């Protein structure tokens, strides 16, 4: 049997982060189609998203025991409600405020995650890693400031946007904390799915009832795009359980928009703005720095190897 090295274990989050970027990048490129083509209401998109969460939850839990302990349920519901609640607050904010102001605020959620992980989980980053985190955060803001239109309707959207930012930053932090507490990925995602389903009545109330005057293509297209979102959320849980939250959150939030822009350019002929081009460069540079330093930090040194007692067996043996 091959024993996994410390480098293998430390870098096990990278494939899941890559899959997350793939699924969320494709989702971002096509997620607006139901609203643009059929004027499908945003709260209804939430309802369909919550239902699609059941699919990856079923696959992840198949053949496994669903952890119903107080620890798993507490973390799972906290993670799920902060994520789903943030989504509902975002829908409300976008109906009363300009997206070009809201999204840059929401985009700073990885900064909340980084600060919480640094303060509460004692995750330590070296100078290069901190540089990568800062580059990724700047890239996220640059991606966001190039979207949206102005609006004159009050200031309520500002505190709502801040609440979304905090909620999603806290969600990513508690994903990591749940993993450190021993809660498995499948159970965490199962509780997230339950949380999303619990908020469906709230979304329906926001619409004043279920809309019926839409062609079948609208919910079908929504289900297809939101399934990508749901599977990506599962990969986020898996990446967070294996890597530092202070690295995983900025990497994934910076690289997914890069793929979205590339796909939009190829499929829809949409040219990136100057802000987006700058964001792409910073996202790639920052993510490369963080991943590179994570790999270098996981490599065992020769001094470490020679100091191992010869008469002691490895705990992995």
* Residue 169 neighbours by CB under 8 Å, 6+ apart: 108, 109, 110, 111, 112, 113, 116, 249
Q: 310 in a domain, yes or no?
A: no
Q: What is the dihedral of CA 134, 158, 226, 109, to 10 degrees?
A: 20
Q: 10 in a domain, yes or no?
A: no
Contact 40, 218 (CB under 8 A): yes
Q: 49 in a domain, yes or no?
A: yes
pLDDT (0 to 100) of residue 310? 41
Whether pLDDT at 314 is above 60: no
Give the range of the structural domain holding residue 288, as residue numbers without chain letter. 16-298
Q: 8 or 94, which is more confident?
A: 94
What mean pLDDT do residues 185-201 have?
A: 96
DSSP conformation letters of 261-314: HHHHHHHH-PPPPHHHHHHHHHHHHHHHHHHHHHHHHHSPPHHHHHTS-TT---
Contact 85, 167 (CB under 8 A): yes
The share of the chain scoring above pLDDT 90, in percent, equals: 41
pLDDT (0 to 100) of residue 223? 96
**What does the DSSP 8-state code read for residue 160?**
H
How many structural domains is the chain composed of? 1
Q: 247 in a domain, yes or no?
A: yes
pLDDT (0 to 100) of residue 23? 96
- Reduce the DSSP state of residue 22 to 3 states and report it: helix
pTM equals: 0.81
What mean pLDDT do residues 240-251 have?
A: 90
Handedness of CA 245, 141, 87, 20 (dihedral sign): negative
Look at residues 18, 7, 199 and name the one whose alpha carbon lies nearest to residue 91.
199
Look at residues 70, 119, 109, 71 and name the one whose alpha carbon lies nearest to residue 89.
109
Q: 315 in a domain, yes or no?
A: no
Cα separation, 199 vs 84, whole angstroms: 7
pLDDT (0 to 100) of residue 311? 42
Q: 36 in a domain, yes or no?
A: yes
pLDDT (0 to 100) of residue 181? 94
Q: What is the pLDDT of residues 109-142, one digit of tens each?
A: 888 898 888 888 888 777 777 888 888 888 888 8
pLDDT (0 to 100) of residue 3? 46
Mean pLDDT of the chain: 83
Cα separation, 111 vs 263, whole angstroms: 27
Confidence of residue 308 (pLDDT cuts 50, 70, 90): very low
Retrieve residue 136's tokens. Answer: 């990724």
Cα separation, 152 vs 155, whole angstroms: 9
Q: 24 in a domain, yes or no?
A: yes
Q: 309 in a domain, yes or no?
A: no
Place of tokens 């939850």: 57
What mean pLDDT do residues 8-26 have?
A: 87
């Amino acid at each position: 049997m091959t024993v996994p090295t410390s480098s293998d274990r430390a870098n096990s989050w990278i494939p899941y982060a890559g899959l997350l970027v793939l699924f969320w990048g494709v989702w971002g490129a096509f997620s607006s189609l139901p609203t643009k083509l059929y004027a499908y209401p945003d709260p209804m998109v939430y309802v369909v998203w919550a239902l699609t969460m059941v699919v990856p939850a079923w696959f992840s839990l198949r053949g496994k025991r669903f952890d119903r302990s107080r620890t798993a349920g507490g973390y799972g519901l906290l993670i799920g409600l902060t994520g789903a609640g943030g989504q509902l607050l975002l829908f409300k904010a976008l109906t009363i405020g300009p997206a070009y102001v809201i999204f840059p605020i929401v985009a700073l959620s990885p900064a909340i995650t980084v600060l919480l992980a640094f303060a509460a989980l004692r995750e330590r980053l070296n100078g290069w890693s901190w540089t990568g985190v800062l580059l990724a955060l700047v890239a996220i803001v640059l991606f966001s400031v190039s979207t949206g239109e102005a609006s004159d309707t009050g200031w309520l959207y500002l505190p709502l946007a801040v609440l979304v930012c905090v909620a999603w930053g806290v969600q990513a932090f508690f994903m990591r904390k749940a993993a450190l507490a021993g809660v498995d990925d499948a159970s965490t995602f199962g509780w997230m799915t339950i949380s999303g389903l619990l908020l469906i009545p709230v979304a329906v109330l926001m619409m004043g009832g279920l809309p019926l005057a839409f062609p079948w293509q609208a919910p079908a297209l929504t289900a297809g795009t939101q399934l990508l979102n749901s599977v990506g959320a599962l990969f986020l849980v898996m990446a967070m359980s294996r890597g530092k939250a202070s690295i995983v959150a900025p990497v994934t939030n910076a690289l997914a928009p890069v793929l979205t822009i590339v796909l939009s350019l190829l499929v829809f002929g949409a040219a990136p703005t100057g802000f987006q081009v700058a964001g792409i460069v910073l996202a790639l540079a920052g993510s490369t720095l963080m991943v590179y330093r994570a790999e270098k930090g996981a490599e065992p040194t020769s001094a470490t190897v020679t100091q191992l007692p010869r008469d002691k067996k490895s705990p992995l043996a």
